[in-house]
Structure 1
Amino acid sequence: MNGNQVGTLSEVVEKKNDNASSLDHAMHVAGIGWYNIKYCLVLALFLIAAIVEPIGYSYILPASKCDLNITDAQRGFLASVPYIGIVLTSFPWGYLVDTRGRKKSLILGSLAAGMFIMLSAFMPNFISFAACKFLSALCTACPAAAPYTFIGELVPLKYRDVTLSVTNAMQILGSVIVPLFAWAVLPLDFRVDFGAYDFRPWRLLTMMYGFLFILAALLLLCGPESPKYLLSQGRYDETLELLKIIYSKNKKKSPDEFPIKSLKIDETVQKEKIRFLTSLKVQTLPLFKPPYIKWMILNSSIFFGILATANGLYIWVPDIINRVLTGDSEGATACEIIAQRLNATGDDIVECDDSLDTTTFLINFVANLTCAVIAIVVSSTVKIIGKKNLLISVLLIIGLFCALVNVVTQDILFVIFLSAMPVLALAIGPVNAYAVEIFPTHLRGMAVSLSMMMGRIGSVIGANIAGIMLNAACEVTFYFFGGLLMFCGLMSFLMPSSKAKQTKEVLMTKM
């Protein structure tokens, strides 16, 4: 592209901006209705699938330990695999989401993740099983983060906070699906001889978890691309046509009645095709310079604390509950019961037992369902509560619950405090809502992906810390994660106000 072409493009952009509408105003005119909602639900399914996969390890690993000869050390490694893969690929997936589109990236990543997960169900040993799981994890970073950006760009500005929070709360349904599917499948008693291995219930459960990715990708095939992405790529006519469709579906009117005829270009559109590394640099470096570096540090740090607990510690919750409820719990705390069981069985050599107490399934199902209902109700009132207040409250309350696990001796309180962790998903929506508001379209996907990458690093560290410390220093474990959440809650006071306009004003003053 030479200088004359740049000048011509600049003149065209200036003419288009005359008497044109901003995209936010056009989205407001198009409104919100079933068209927006149904695709937000589809995008929520990606998030549900992305949470089901790692949490599913809580049940699949204990049930498969005899067939795959998995040691405790290998179990800890496998529990970290989904997050390791996401950490390694969040950067390139963020690049693809920003440069190749939200829709294409989501479909590609989810189909690949689903196929590798289903393939792992047919692996005969630990190495091949871990390899398939690792390959699936490399593809999971996209459906684990990109839907937040997509959802925020698919609804009018004034509905963004509520939509992101409600959709995010629905992600907790993934925590409900995990024990529900496990409860339905793992107690089954069947064994199909495949020669090198037997096909048992845990393999069927693995396939069921993986199919959620494939289902979400198939449903999105007929969906739209993000209007903000289309506009940022200079595809003005496509953006306007999409807005007409949204208007027509929501208002039950003809697309030709859409009152807006042209869109204002708010951001620089680059037509040049540049090399990958150069483009990656352009999309990343601005995030680590003023005015965005402060928000990147805040978002990333809060995500680290949230996911270190919600994914890292929570992956061990079914095992912890099973240990406590099957031990001598009279007048003892959870850590005292765990210590008693370790002392009683430390020197014993027992036959491999991969059975799980069905009471654990029931408790986790009821607890997670309750958390999901609470989360959806609370998130639907986020405009009243304010996303900043919601974020702070969730982090401080769940942090306190983690610490209180060390002092309660009643089983019911222990189960309530420990099973409340899925409510942490409520904190993810507000943090991502800030990312959608603060960062411009061409940096937004990368910003969300990098923040989530830090969160996944927290998941890896959290899962391994919990696995090591639960036996060696049980009480320290719960104080550590509780303190981490409360620290993140205090950091959240530094976030801008809940209103989008005020967020933008804060950002502009920093510029």
Structure 2
Amino acid sequence: MTKQDEKHRLQSVLNTDAESANFEEAITLAGCGRYHLEVLLVCGVITMCVGFENGLSSYILSSAQCDLDLSSSAKGMVNAAFLAGATASALPWGVTADAIGRKKILVMSLLTNGIITFVSSFSGTFLTFASLRFVNGFMIGAPGTLTFSYVGEFYSDKYRPKAITAMGLFWLTSWILLPVFAWIIIPLKLNYQIFGISCHSWRLFVLVFALPSILTALLLMRYPESPKFLLSQGKKKEALAIIRQIFAANTGKDKHEFPISNLIMDSDASENQAKTISDIISNIRKQVCYLMTPPLLKYTALTSLTMAVTMFGYLGFAFWFPELFNRFESHYRNNPNASVTLCELSALRNEIGPVYLNDLNTTETNFTNVGTKILSTLTSRSLPILEKSSLQTCDPSVDLKVFSNTIIIGAVSLVVNVAAIYLSHHLSNNILQSTTLTIASIFCCTLYFVRSTFQNLIVASLFSAFANVGIVVFTGAVVDLFPTRVNAMAVCTATFTGRCGAILSNILFGELLDTQCALLVFLMSAALLCAGLLGFLVPKKIPELPQSGKKSSTA
């Protein structure tokens, strides 16, 4: 059926007393109002929980380094553990949600994540904390991807892009609230002993952010499963009942006034309901085969490649911005009159070592004592245990500029995302995604030329804002593109490859930043530009699917 034919059919349904309609027609007749706003707000809070977990470690590692005996490499391993858990969970959550439902997985994963976060606040060792962060990453990976499918399946085609783009607002809000709470809690001078564990402010900070996941899971229990998913599983009566509730909430009319009494199943819908473990495994196998074979295979490959390249270009810089800000602050503290670019600073660091650049207490303003510092560094390295020596003490303090800079980046991203919501109603996903990622590519390239902390903050804010919008818009495009029975897995597959790209970019950052900085910056910029071009190849809908051989049925 062509798009024009679909419009004619919908108009016919609207103008007659037709009792049968497909999902798109029925959800359109239900209107868009209070019910949809409630679902959007709940899913938005879920997205904020995901944002809290993703950024949690960035604000506690410095203040927790004394309690957990964290070296620099150990801090990196904590971040890697969380990212590894999120990557490992992408595909399992996708296939499970497409087999047994979005809501069940979301509630279970949010509850578990909140409990694990609560327990991790009492961690006494690095190994315990890193292990729990891995579990956090695994659990939060479910709402990190499935929420887009869940909220999108309550909306009609007309409003779905705007709703999914709006989810980016909540993600960015979480990245503003997180440093605000960190600014309030972490500087507190707390020192209590509970069961032999020293309780400082970072533990209170972690404990506070265990609550949103638990409370949101309880709130989500009040809402139903996605009606579009239920219809894809052959549960037509349940799906129709939910659509009638939506109609009543949006219009103020009685649900029995809803003009549709029969739902027509799409040709790709499955009538097999998962009742046993073997049913679930069978359904998972079927949908994996469905997604990984023609004609869906090329779209799976295209969306996965696009997400991998996008996150490769963005998350490398995103995770390193605090480090880069610290480097600039350190340099200008020592050399207030000497401007420097990112790559010049990296080359300088590579030449004279990290001791000079990271010594925030020095009062020197020139390079006359560089030789003395190098000699001092080499001498100190000959000590048996440098980290335990009397020359170093554990300092859990955190530079407050980390919080303020992060708040500014989040605020700029929020403004750009609001504009993107408006534009999403007037522009196609392809154009919006490609435009935002191309602009992000330009700002990424600009990072090579700027020469101050302030300039870096401005460029980094705009870079993050446009890259974030590009990722959110593209995720919505994936939800729209694939059939309901596999779109959760399609989103998770794209997210999996994206996280692999993020891991690769962070590895390259560590290896190349101080030796091949220019290559690194332009590589990230080129990746975002490539992702923008790939976005043009992704269609709004898959043109044609093979028929199942069964006639559409009604309930």
TM-score by length of 1: 0.90
1:299 aligns to what? 303
Instruction: State the shift of 1:380 in Å.
Output: 2.4
Letter in 2 for 1:326: S
Amino acid at match of 2:508: I
CA displacement at 1:410 relative to structure 2? 3.5
Given that 2:98 and 2:284 are in contact with CA atoms closer than 8 Å, whether structure 1 keeps it comes out as no
Quote the residue 1:387 is aligned against: 429
1:481 aligns with 2:519: no
Give the Å deviation of 1:327. 1.9
The reply on whether 1:289 has 2:257 as its aligned counterpart is: no
Counterpart in the other structure of 1:6? none
Partner of 1:5: none
Q: Which amino acid aligns with 2:445?
A: A
Q: Which residue of 2 aligns with 1:366?
A: 408
1:165-180 correspondence to structure 2 within 5 Å: 165-180=165-180
Does 1:403 find its partner at 2:411?
A: no
Deviates more, 1:83-92 or 1:306-315: 306-315
CA separation of 1:114 and 1:469: change in aligned 2, threshold 3 A: farther
Residue type at the aligned position of 1:268: S
Q: Deviations over 1:48-74 (max 9, x none)?
A: 221221222222222222221112222
Aligned in 2, Cα 1:437/1:289: closer, same or farther, shift over 3 Å? same
Pairwise CA distance, 1:460: 2.3
- C-alpha deviations, 1:328-383, integer Å up to 9, x for none? 26321123334545626442664332322212211221221121122122222212
After alignment, is 275-284 or 75-84 more displaced?
Answer: 275-284
Q: Structure 1 residue aligned with 2:344, among 322, 336, 341?
A: 336
Q: Deviations over 1:452-490 (max 9, x none)?
A: 111122222233332343344433332222221111112
Cα distance per residue 1:225-247 (max 9 Å; x no partner): 10011112222221111111100
Deviation of residue 271 (structure 1)? 4.2
* Shift of residue 19, structure 1, vs aligned partner: 5.7
Compare 411-420 and 470-479 and name the one that shifted more.
470-479
CA distance in structure 1 between the aligned counterparts of 2:331 and 2:219, rounded to whole angstroms: 45
Q: Structure 1 segments of 4 or more deviating over 6 A?
A: none
* 3-state SS of 1:385 partner: coil
SS, match of residue 156 in structure 1: coil
CA distance in 2, matches of 1:233, 1:146: 17
Q: Distance in 1 between matches of 2:204 and 2:525?
A: 36
Deviation per residue, 1:307-336 (Å, 9 max, x gap):
334434312212221221232263211233
Q: How many residues align?
A: 488
Q: Which runs of 5+ in 1 are unaligned?
A: 1-17
Larger Rg: 2
Q: Indicate how the Cα distance of structure 1 residues 434 and 271 shifts in structure 2: closer, same or farther if over 3 A, else same.
A: same
Residues 100 and 314 (structure 1), Cα distance of their counterparts in 2 relative to 1, 3 Å cut: same
Code of the residue aligned with 1:67 in structure 2: it is D
Q: What is the match of residue 315 of structure 2?
A: 311
Structure 1 residue identity aligned to 2:319 = I
Matched, 1:449 2:492: yes
Q: Cα 1:389–1:230, aligned 2, differ >3 Å: closer, same or farther?
A: same
Partner of 2:156: 156
**Closer, same or farther in 2 for the Cα pair 1:63/1:480, shift >3 Å?**
farther
**Gaps (5+ residues) in structure 2?**
1-17, 356-376, 381-390, 549-555
Paired-residue identity, %: 26
More moved, 486-495 vs 461-470: 461-470
One-letter amino acid of the counterpart of residue 222, structure 2 = C
Matches within 5 A, 1:196-275: 196-266=196-266, 267-271=269-273, 274-275=278-279
Partner of 2:120: 120
Shift in Å, 1:253: 0.8
Q: Distance in 1 between matches of 2:194 and 2:79?
A: 26
**Structure 1 residue 125: deviation in Å?**
0.9
Residue equivalent to 2:509? 466
- The TM-score, its normalising length taken from structure 2, stands at 0.83
- Residue identity in the other structure for 1:45: V
The Cα shift of 1:27 comes to 0.2
- CA change 1:468–1:164 in 2 (3 A) is same
More helix by share: 1
Structure 1 residue 222: Cα displacement: 0.5
In 1, Cα distance between equivalents of 2:523 and 2:66: 32
Range 237-246 or range 320-329, more displaced: 320-329
2:415 partner letter:
V
Tell me what 1:13 maps to: none
CA RMSD for the aligned pairs? Answer: 2.3
After the TM superposition, which residues 493-508 of structure 1 pair with which residues of structure 2 at under 5 Å, given as runs? 493-496=536-539, 500=540, 503-504=541-542, 506-507=543-544
Q: Partner amino acid for 2:530? A: F
**CA displacement at 1:389 relative to structure 2:** 1.2
> What CA distance in whole angstroms lies between the structure 2 residues aligned with 1:434 and 1:362?
33
Partner of 1:434: 477
Give the superposition deviation at 1:173: 1.5
Aligned counterpart for 1:325 among listed residues 322, 329, 341: 329
CA distance 1:303–1:23, change in 2 (3 Å): same
Per-residue CA deviations over 1:108-151 (Å, capped at 9, x if unaligned) read 01110111112111001101111111122221221110011011
Structure 1 partner of 2:95: 95
Which of 465, 468, 478 is matched with 1:425 structurally?
A: 468
Residue 62 (str. 1) matches residue 62 (str. 2): yes
Give me the whole-angstrom Cα distance separating, in 2, the residues matched to 1:486 and 1:147.
27
3-state secondary structure, aligned to 2:123: coil
